[in-house]
Every structure is written in C-alpha cells, then in structure tokens.
Structure 1
Amino acid sequence: MNSVTEPLVRLAARVDAIQPFYVMELAKEAALLERDGRDGRDIIHMGIGEPDFTAPEPVIEAAASALRRGVTQYTNALGLHALREAISAHYADFYGVNVDPARIVVTAGASAALLLACAALVDRDDEVLMPDPCYPCNRHFVIAAEGKPVMVPSGPAERFQLTAADVQRLWNEHTRGVLLASPSNPTGTSIEPAELERIVKAVRARGGFTIVDEIYQGLSYDAKPVSALSFGDDVITVNSFSKYFNMTGWRLGWLVVPPGMVGAFEKLAQNLFICASALAQHAALACFEPDTIAIYEARRLEFKRRRDFIAPALESLGFSVPVMPDGAFYVYADCRTVAHQAAGDSAALTKAMLHDAGVVLVPGMDFGTHAPKDYIRLSYATALPKLEEAVERLAKLFGRH
C-alpha cells in the first residue's frame, strides 16, 4: 500500500521545479509555537507581507450593499466597466497617466494577473530576465508557463534591481522579456524612473515584453511615484487591491495591457478564471471615493513612520541596511555581522530569533540564490508598538542592552 505522503499518480514535472514558499513555512512554525503558548509569550510577526490594516468602513459598506442588492453574479471577464473606469481615473489623478479603461483587465489578485501575463507571453523554454533577489512567485509564474526565469544578481549598487545594462548584456535569442517590480518585494526599493525608461527602451529595441509589478507603488514615501505606463503603451503593468488598498483576502487586482493584447487576455481570463469576485469588485468601487483615499493616505504615512523607526533600529542591533527602502513595507537587511556572532547564516539566525525571542523575520533564501545567506527581510506591516517590542526582544537576544 502506498504511503499517505506519496501521490497516487505521477505529478507534472513543473511541481518539482517550484520550491516551497519558505515564508509561509516559517509562519506555520510560528503558529505552532503560538498554540503551544511557551512561556505565555506571543509571537511578533514581521514575516508575511500583509498590512495590519483591513478594508476601511466605506469598502465594507459597499460590499454589504452589494450583498443586499444581490449583485453577486459573474461579471465580464475583463471586470466591471465602472471599476475599470475608476482605475483609469486613479491613474490620471495619482500618476498623471491617461489609461484607456478598455486596456484594464480586472483579475483575481495580482497573482492571477501575473499568471495571465505569463500564459499570454511565455512559450516553452523562453527566458525571462528578473532581478535576484525578487518575489519568489515571480519566477514560479514563469516556470508554470514552461519558461525559464533568468535570475540576475542584483546588489546594493543596483538598488537590488535589474538594470538596462543587464538587459543589453544578457539578452540572447532565447530571451523573451523582463519581469520587474517597483517598489520591490523583498527590498522595498524602486527602480529610478530614468533607469526604468532605459530598460523599457532596451527591451523594446529587442522585440521583447516588459512586465512591471506595481502593487506597492501606492506605498511610496520619498518621491512622487512614476508608473511604467509613462514609457509607452507596450508596457504591461500589474497592480492589486491588496497592499495600498488593504484588501489582501479579497483577491482582486488588475493588469494594464497594450491595446492589441486585450482580446488575448480576455480569452485567457474567460477560460482560466471566468472573472474576478463580483462582490470584491463592487466593494472596490468605494476605494476611489475621496474620503476613502484620505484614509489610505493616512495609512501610507503611518507605514512611512514605521519605516523611519525600524531601519535605524535594525542598524542599532548590528544589521546593515545598505539601501533605504523607499516603498512597500519591507527592509532587506545585511545580517552577516549578527549571524556570524551567532555562528550561523540568515536561516539559522531567523530560527534563533523565532525560538529565542519570539520574533518572525524571513531569511533571504526565499528570494533567490544571490547571497541569500547574507540577508533577512523584515516586514513592517505591523503596529509600531509591536515593532518597538520586537526591537527590545532582539536587543536582549543579541546582548545589546
């Protein structure tokens, strides 16, 4: 008889090519410790990138209204026309970019958006350039489409981002395009607008595609953000209601695609997803009301306050923050000094922080193969008092008191 851990039939090879999401595994381990209640101490979570804020009252009320009115049937595969118009107006208001609502494809979260983009653009063995480190699922979306992610080592000198010089140096007959994120998970760093424009031009000159994940762009702190859509209608961008709009579990996002690709994306969406959640779409209409935007902007400033506390606090603990994050809610910190004192690397260090201090951070191993043992990622998407307590616990652990 087969073991319960063995599949009854052969799994597709792509399953083996996709690694576990370590941050989620660490979260499960932390949850077990919380259930054990060791020493009566709670766990401070700074691992998963999920805002501690949830949908504000106008959005909740819009969802309740949609339920009462019974508008929960399938929508068009491209999304509610009213929502696409609202997103278009948001681009004009926030980024000064005119986007035809017809180019907007509403999706079941940014993950579905990236899956659609890879299904539409990546053939078997096509190579897609992306920075290392980057969000782990990005490379797995490419793998699921039977393409080959090409991870380009990117360090502090490049703001942990791909550069136009990388595109020019690495492009070959198998390269199909680039997949970027600005601001980025895990680093919280953006691509400078002039550099992003150079990347777009370099890819365009080679007949490739540029996909830019902009899900954290609403959470920019040091300069007015510039959307990649500013650099041409051929750029594909991905966005989401999860981060700036605090609607993670609602699973709602969108794409902006070139005019000539809308039909292809619609056909794929019809067959793979039918549509995004109708309830979430009706609720999201309230996100763009002025009073709701005011709530989100106040929350954005609170995230900035947390960043301004935690980055220097990490350095006081012995970490190095080689590039100050300018967006999202992450710090990518060099932990070599601290880890070497503990005779370990980032993985051993995060284990020690979890078990000995009750603080969850994530080792760099999730985000690529370029120096993952040297870095940890911290998410400051938790309340400032919790961040302060975490620093106190780590100071005690590292003997910094």
Structure 2
Amino acid sequence: MNPHLASRLANIAPFHVMELAKRATELERQGRSIIHMGIGEPDFTAAQPVIDAAARAMADGKMQYTSATGIPALREVIANHYRHVYGLDIAPSRIIITAGASAALLLACAALVDKGTEVLMPDPSYPCNRHFVAAFEGQAKMIASGPEQRFQLSDTVVREHWGAATRGVLLASPSNPTGTSIPHDELRKIVATVRERQGFTIVDEIYQGLTYDEAPFSALSLGEDVIVINSFSKYFNMTGWRLGWLVVPESMVPAVEKLAQNLFICASSIAQHAGVACFSPEAISIYEQRKAEFKRRRDFIVPALRQLGFRVPVTPDGAFYVYADCSALSDDADRLTIEMLHEAGVVLVPGLDFGPYTAKSYIRLSYATSMENLQEAVTRLEKFFAARR
C-alpha cells in the first residue's frame, strides 16, 4: 500500500525547465548535438583560489559540523563585502550561512509564512519562490507584470493588491527569468509601503553581483527590517557547492538559527571554508573578468534575437537571461521550444514555469554558455525559422 501524500503537493507544479533538460539529454544520448541555453547555470566553475581553499580545508580536517549560522570567518568576509561594494555596515551576526539560496528562502518562509498568509510577487517569477510559500501553506499572489513595469512589481501595484491576508512581498532584483532589476527609488517606495502595513520584504539578490549597466545596490540599504537572500552559485560560479546566505534583522536571528539547526544542521563545512576565498582580491579579479564576459554575451545575443524575429521589450540589465516575446513567431511558446529542441538542437525555456501571464508568449534564454555556442545557436535558429517561412 502506497503512503498517503500530503495535500500541499497539489500546490507545487512540476519544474518544466528540468523536464525539457531531460528531453535534451535523451537526444544527446542518441547522438544529437544540443546547445543548452535552458538551465541557469554558469559555464564557469569555481575560481582556482576557491578550489585550493577547499583542498586545504579537507587536508586540514575541517570537515565537521559548524554552527548552524555558519563559520565566523565567512560571515565576517561577507560583511566586509557589503562594506566594500555597497558602503553598508552589516553586522556579521545578522548573516546566516545556508545550503544555497534555496535553503535561505526556505528558512525565511518557515519563519514568516503562516497558513493562509498571502505573499505578493510578480508574474513572471522564479517558480520555486511561490512553491516555498506554498510549502508552508501560504498563498503566492502572482501579479501580472509586463514589460512596462520591467516585469517587476511597483509600489502602486503593491498598494492596489495588498489585502487583508497579505503579509509581505517576495521580490528578485535582478530577476530570473527576466534579467531585470527594480529601480532603487521604486524599491525604496515598495519597502516603505510594506513597512507601513507591518509586513515583510524579502529580496532575492542572488544575481546582484551580475549587474551590468549601473552601479549595483543592495536592498539592505533600505533598512534593517529588509530580508535579503544571496548565493555563491551565480556570481561566484559555485552551483553544486550549495552555499548561500540570508541577512535578517537582529531580532530574527534566534528564530532562524533554531530553524536552521533543525532543518539543515549546517551548510557544507568544506564549502564554507572555500567560500572565504571567494572574497580574496585574486578571486574577485577572476569573477569580474567573467562578469565582463557575461555582459559581452548579452550584448551579442539580444540584438541577434531581435534579428531572428523575437521581441525583447526590455534589455536585461543583470543576471544571464533574456526574456523574449515569441508571439510573432508562434502562438504557443511551449510548442515552439519543443520544436526548436527537436529540429534545431537548441534548448530554450517557455514562459510556462514562470507564471500564467507570459506562459504562451515568452521564452527565456540563458546566455551562461560560451560565445561559440551562442553564435552556433543563432545560426541554427536562422535555418529553423527560414524553413518555416
């Protein structure tokens, strides 16, 4: 007899990005050449100083449990990073080291979301964000956010949609899937509006290090009550290391620490010791060079997509995604991505995962792959669309 599954699973949809990746992998097993621009994973790996630090940690036997909040050295270098890059004085005691940004989001939702709690977020959004809310029996209220709003929430929209059950907002800047950021003044207004209503503001900043056109800023500059998520996966190219952090108000630290002790014990000790090296001048120099390469790729692929017939209504200013309107090429983004995979050998992702508002008309492209792959993908898609005319 199979066990009865919890009813909350009905509120968590499959992750179509991963399903498409499985199809692509099967085609590769059959001998097909596939260019992957679906999953948001840097093609770079950890910088050599970080790998060396991990090897030293293992050689020195630093592989035991750590504090649930993380090793002091890592919390301190992250605090120094906020001071150096953003001019912010963040106490290391407010920084909780987590098993990736996913664990940070899980801890934040576990601490703040009650049964029936409504959390506002834009449609489109990273799908797991709404599922973290659902896991704690809250309700993600997805608000249609088009290119006019840079696919983000605005203060006006937050005011309009805040209801009796609303307790907070969950934002991402820069965003997955759109690569767009919330302007500083607009984010300041949103935080003030939420604060007036005694709600919480969670801002996912895992792509903040990959901001290209203006000086980056952190939502932490808007007050100690703002909760920020960050990660070593994207800017630091450490996806499989499962390391991230959470910055919370001092008053929340005991509650989050208690949750972390029970849910995770701690993040990987080896990853934590390696993570300290991410902030060395040598490593930062490497990461800044890679950031420049991501920008170069963006500056190639955005006009190339427009030339192919996609509409890119908002040029992404961060992350490594382009969110492109494919409605001039197809009336069904999901079907189009399957056809591009099978006929052109190119993996792109339909808007289906990111919310209903853009599901049929948008695709997401990840340019976290080599320039050679991007150029070859454009060549293949040119032939694909030419054959359809």
Map of 1:350 onto structure 2: 337
Residue 7 of structure 2 is aligned to residue 16 of structure 1: no
Aligned match for 1:367, one of 354, 372, 378: 354
Task: Percent identity, please.
Answer: 67
Map of 2:314 onto structure 1: 323
1:148 and 1:135 map into 2 onto residues whose CA distance is: 15
The DSSP-based 3-state class of the residue aligned with 1:162 is: coil
1:329 and 1:97 map into 2 onto residues whose CA distance is: 26
The DSSP-based 3-state class of the residue aligned with 2:49 is: helix
Map of 1:45 onto structure 2: 36
Map 1:2-401 → 2, pairs under 5 A: 8-37=2-31, 41-339=32-330, 344-399=331-386
Residue 87 of structure 1 and its aligned partner are, at CA, apart by 0.3
The DSSP-based 3-state class of the residue aligned with 1:370 is: helix
1:16 and 1:31 map into 2 onto residues whose CA distance is: 28
The DSSP-based 3-state class of the residue aligned with 2:287 is: helix
TM-score by length of 1: 0.96
The DSSP-based 3-state class of the residue aligned with 2:156 is: helix
1:307 and 1:373 map into 2 onto residues whose CA distance is: 24
Residue 371 of structure 1 and its aligned partner are, at CA, apart by 2.6
CA deviations 1:104-128 (Å, max 9, x no partner) are 0000000000000000000000000
CA deviations 1:60-91 (Å, max 9, x no partner) are 00000000000000000000000000000001
CA deviations 1:227-252 (Å, max 9, x no partner) are 00000000000000000000000000
2:88 and 2:362 map into 1 onto residues whose CA distance is: 36
1:272 and 1:348 map into 2 onto residues whose CA distance is: 39
Map of 1:5 onto structure 2: none
The count of aligned residue pairs is: 388
2:285 and 2:93 map into 1 onto residues whose CA distance is: 27
The DSSP-based 3-state class of the residue aligned with 2:229 is: strand
Residue 48 of structure 1 and its aligned partner are, at CA, apart by 0.1
CA deviations 1:146-189 (Å, max 9, x no partner) are 10000000000000001111111111110010000000000000
The DSSP-based 3-state class of the residue aligned with 1:399 is: helix
CA deviations 1:366-398 (Å, max 9, x no partner) are 000113100000000000000000000000000
1:372 and 1:217 map into 2 onto residues whose CA distance is: 26
The DSSP-based 3-state class of the residue aligned with 1:338 is: coil
Residue 352 of structure 1 and its aligned partner are, at CA, apart by 0.6
The DSSP-based 3-state class of the residue aligned with 1:184 is: coil
Amino acid at match of 1:380: Y
1:141 and 1:158 map into 2 onto residues whose CA distance is: 24
1:208 and 1:183 map into 2 onto residues whose CA distance is: 22
1:301 and 1:259 map into 2 onto residues whose CA distance is: 36
The DSSP-based 3-state class of the residue aligned with 2:328 is: helix
Extract structure 1 runs of 4+ deviating beyond 3 A: none
Segments of 5+ residues of structure 2 without an aligned counterpart are none
Cα RMSD, aligned residues only: 0.9
2:88 and 2:318 map into 1 onto residues whose CA distance is: 20
Amino acid at match of 1:27: A
Residue 9 of structure 1 and its aligned partner are, at CA, apart by 1.1
The DSSP-based 3-state class of the residue aligned with 2:187 is: helix
Residue 307 of structure 1 and its aligned partner are, at CA, apart by 0.2
1:96 and 1:308 map into 2 onto residues whose CA distance is: 29
Residue 213 of structure 1 and its aligned partner are, at CA, apart by 0.1
Amino acid at match of 2:22: K
Amino acid at match of 2:372: P
Q: Which moved more, 1:212-221 or 1:89-98?
A: 89-98
Segments of 5+ residues of structure 1 without an aligned counterpart are 3-7
1:211 and 1:374 map into 2 onto residues whose CA distance is: 28
1:220 and 1:263 map into 2 onto residues whose CA distance is: 32
Amino acid at match of 1:209: F
1:92 and 1:324 map into 2 onto residues whose CA distance is: 29
